[in-house]
Amino acid sequence: MIRSLLIDDLTFSVRWSRRRRTIGISVGAAGELRLAAPVGCPRRALEAAVRERLSWVRKKMAEQAVRAAAQAHAYEEGELFPYLGRHYPLALVDAPGTDLELRDGRFVLDRALATEAHAHLADWYLARARCLIPARLDRLVEPGRPAPSAVQVRAMGRRWGSCTANGKISLHWHTILLPPDIIDYILVHELMHLRQLDHSQAFWGCVEKAMPDYVQRRTWLRKNGHLHVL
């Protein structure tokens, strides 16, 4: 069985599975291309499946490239970083022993710590997120409706949030970088999973009832969310 497949200028790694019944195509975060196929699937079927979705694959690759470029911070003087939807410049100052602060419309950091700017910003964001996000979530819980059994704010890769069957809600600390109305969409989305764990029509009906303009907020997040990460 082949382990890779070349289509035009694109190379796909092939993973075979006895459990699969269909051919799956995915584009990884670093642009890697993968095919998941049932054992015994002929090569011509793989090629046909890829060519049928080739425009989608190229679109996803372009989106990943944009995300990668957006996340390539230099942490230089004047570079802008988001917080609650607004962008603030980084100011490197001579202030020994001073941790990162948001002061006078700037992220202020001791110049001697410039090489560690990513870590200092991440720590600052995480602390703010763990303070503000659970409190904001609590205000969105409707009286008489299910409340989360626990709330956790942490790194979650490319996911903004999740909800388990036992009612535990996890939220990415990156949410604190987003505009407040988009944060609320993410929080409402996870709260509605306490009523409907899947993404069925019934689930989206719950979201719409709680937030009638959720489609606009969801669309904004899909288009702009990658610009609000560290």
pTM to 2 decimals?
Answer: 0.72
9 occurs within a structural domain: yes
- The one-letter amino acid code at 90 reads L
Count, residues in the chain: 230
124 occurs within a structural domain: no
Residues 66 and 143 in one domain: no
Residues 145 and 66 in one domain: no
Instruction: Indicate which CATH number applies to the domain containing 192.
Output: 3.30.2010.10
For residue 159, the enclosing domain spans 139-227
Distance CA 124, CA 112 (A): 17
118 occurs within a structural domain: no
Of the residues 20, 45, 70, the one at which a domain ends: 70
Tally of structural domains, the chain: 2
pLDDT tens-digit profile, the chain (230 residues): 889 999 988 999 999 999 999 999 999 877 789 999 999 999 999 999 999 999 999 888 877 776 665 567 888 999 999 999 999 999 999 988 778 999 999 999 999 999 999 999 999 999 999 999 999 999 999 888 889 999 999 998 888 999 999 999 999 999 999 999 999 999 999 999 999 999 999 999 999 999 999 999 999 998 888 888 88
183 occurs within a structural domain: yes
Of the residues 29, 49, 70, the one at which a domain ends: 70
Of the residues 40, 70, 100, the one at which a domain ends: 70
101 occurs within a structural domain: no
97 occurs within a structural domain: no
89 occurs within a structural domain: no
The residues near 65 (Cβ < 8 Å, ≥ 6 apart) are: 31
84 occurs within a structural domain: no
Sign of CA dihedral 111, 91, 182, 130: positive
Cα 210 to Cα 7, 172, 188, 217: the distances in Å are 46, 22, 7, 13
